[in-house]
Structure 1
Amino acid sequence: MTLSQDETIDRCGKARPQDLVAHIPHGNSILKLSDGIAVKFGYGVTEHEAHSQDKAYQILDHDIVRVPKVYDFFQDGQGRGYLVMDFMEGQTQDSYKDHSQLKALFRILDHFAIQTSERPGSLGGGPSRALLFGESDPLTFDTIDKIERWYNMRHLVPGATLSFQESELVLCHLGLFPRNILWHPDQPPCVLDWSSAGYYPRIFEACSQLIRERLEQRGGVLQIPIPECEADRVSLILKAWGNAQRFHL
């Protein structure tokens, strides 16, 4: 069954809470349209997210990580976005302590790390939207200098300067949290929500986990090891994020 855009909008508008596969209060929702198709919709669903997810589907090895294929993106007259994609079987979990699951997640991170770029920024183009960059209006980080400037203006540590000039830019998801990972027997993990994905220094993935841990007062998806040589940079990144939250910088 293939629905038109108007039919999809109508289905979403009539969906009851119990009909939704996922829902964030005052946020985005996911509705299953058929056995194989779902739609993510809401004011926070953007064309850039659709482009990022489509790019991830194209470049990643599906034997390592599953990504829902994107079929369409459109908006209604109120500005809500609709991302039509594969419906992926699986269940989320609150935490991951099973050795095989941890191994699968670190394999995904290693696979991300071989996807590189000469320039930083969002995977699908457009603004960089991620918890790691605070709650200010999303910025387009298309140069390393812009990323450095953002953090150095906010960490407020006298005499300290963050530099990423020597850092390789690799694919980072920046949202590898329990709600965004589906598990299914005998299949690789499925990673959802590519809205924050982009090419950044690899240490950013670990920082996103540490920030989530601070916000929720519990462990993130992964306790990513941080090399001793990166400890100072991580500290400055987290200070900058904290100040951005506190002062809305």
Structure 2
Amino acid sequence: MVLAIPTLPSELEIIQKCREACAANPKAFIRGTPLIDSTGTPYAWVRFGYSDVYMEDARTQQYVADIVKQDDAAPVRVPAVYSFFKSQLGRGYIVMELIDGEVCSNADADLVAAAVQYLIAIKAPTDQPGPIGGGPVCHTLFPDVRSSVTYSSVDWLEKHMNGILAHVGRPQRLSLKSQIKTYGLSLCPSDMRRKNFLKDREGKIVAINFDCTCFLPISFFEVALYHHDDFTHLIRQRIVYPTSAQSDTLYKALKTLVQFGTDKLGLPRELKAQTLRQ
């Protein structure tokens, strides 16, 4: 079934509707609001924010949505993206398909695990790690979720991770080449908390948040499964995924980043130049 794209209000009108949603709940942390037609029927959802809503998220979400919608047997849905724009103040807005559903509970762990199993089998269209179209890597390994630089290749990602380990005198070194040769770059949902999954009225799981999702070597998904969140733990028990000899080394790099609170340590000189231009 081809999804009909609704006629949307202007960007200024959408911004105003989001402001009204925030003003109506001044003590709540509002991150999204529906668009409602003249009959009172909601027809689209707007996700907005300053620090975690980016064009890269929208591109990756739409890429995955296009793949999923072509597979009637897919155990997961992904909302189609209708529009992305930024306000003059820098707030990002993703207008997407509205999903009628509820946030998943622990009882849905089997279904969510099947959805994640499907998602991590999706391969990158290029050999550049990160989101569709290029950009910083989005993963909970990084203190700010997004890397402070863009990696043009897996080699540069590997060099940076090893620079982090060397910065604190750890002897271990990461080698991603064998992973890439065997598995390539796969979709890596690194934030698998229940709030990022809905169950629609037909009982299908919907992945709704792509701000921590991009294409990475498989060891990055292994590290994401280490998260202490209880729902992630339930998924980890139910999913079968390729394992590597590199996840422990990568996890040591993660702990170093947590300790220092920045991913700018250990940067190769060529990547450090990016941060100077920002």
Q: Normalised by the shorter chain, which TM-score bucket?
A: 0.7 to 0.9
Alignment of 1:11 onto 2:21:
no
Q: Deviations over 1:178-206 (max 9, x none)?
A: 11000134342100111232221223223
For the residues of structure 1 that align with 2:243 and 2:8, how far apart are their CA atoms? 53
For the residues of structure 2 that align with 1:69 and 1:229, how far apart are their CA atoms? 31
Q: Which runs of 5+ in 2 are unaligned?
A: 1-6, 37-41, 266-278
For the residues of structure 1 that align with 2:32 and 2:139, how far apart are their CA atoms? 20
Number of residue pairs matched?
236
Aligned to 1:153: 163
Alignment of 1:113 onto 2:115:
no
Aligned to 1:144: 154
Is the 8 Å Cα contact of residues 128 and 198 (structure 1) preserved in structure 2? yes
In the TM superposition, residue 150 of structure 1 has moved relative to its aligned partner by 2.1
Equivalence map 1:43-62=2 (5 Å)? 43-44=50-51, 45-60=53-68, 61=71
Amino acid at match of 1:200: L
Equivalence map 1:214-233=2 (5 Å)? 216=229, 218-220=230-232, 222-223=235-236, 230=244, 233=246
For the residues of structure 2 that align with 1:185 and 1:165, how far apart are their CA atoms? 43
In the TM superposition, residue 16 of structure 1 has moved relative to its aligned partner by 3.9
Is the 8 Å Cα contact of residues 122 and 128 (structure 1) preserved in structure 2? yes
Alignment of 1:244 onto 2:260:
no
TM-score normalised to structure 1 length = 0.81
For the residues of structure 2 that align with 1:86 and 1:228, how far apart are their CA atoms? 32
Instruction: Quickly say closer, same or farther: Cα 1:107–1:68, change in 2 above 3 A.
Output: closer
Equivalence map 1:8-47=2 (5 Å)? 8-16=14-22, 25=29, 29-34=31-36, 35-44=42-51, 45-47=53-55
* Aligned-partner SS, 1:123: coil
* Aligned-partner SS, 1:32: strand
Aligned to 2:269: none
For the residues of structure 1 that align with 2:21 and 2:111, how far apart are their CA atoms? 38
Alignment of 1:209 onto 2:219:
no
For the residues of structure 2 that align with 1:161 and 1:193, how far apart are their CA atoms? 32
Is the 8 Å Cα contact of residues 57 and 67 (structure 1) preserved in structure 2? yes
Aligned to 1:86: 97
Structure showing greater Rg: 2
Q: Percent identity?
A: 23
* Aligned-partner SS, 1:243: helix
Range 149-158 or range 122-131, more displaced = 149-158
Aligned residue among 81, 84, 102 for 1:73: 84
TM-score normalised to structure 2 length = 0.74
For the residues of structure 2 that align with 1:208 and 1:227, how far apart are their CA atoms? 12
Aligned residue among 211, 218, 221 for 1:195: 211
Is the 8 Å Cα contact of residues 104 and 188 (structure 1) preserved in structure 2? no
Q: Which runs of 5+ in 1 are unaligned?
A: none
For the residues of structure 2 that align with 1:193 and 1:49, how far apart are their CA atoms? 8
Is the 8 Å Cα contact of residues 65 and 191 (structure 1) preserved in structure 2? yes
Alignment of 1:166 onto 2:178:
yes
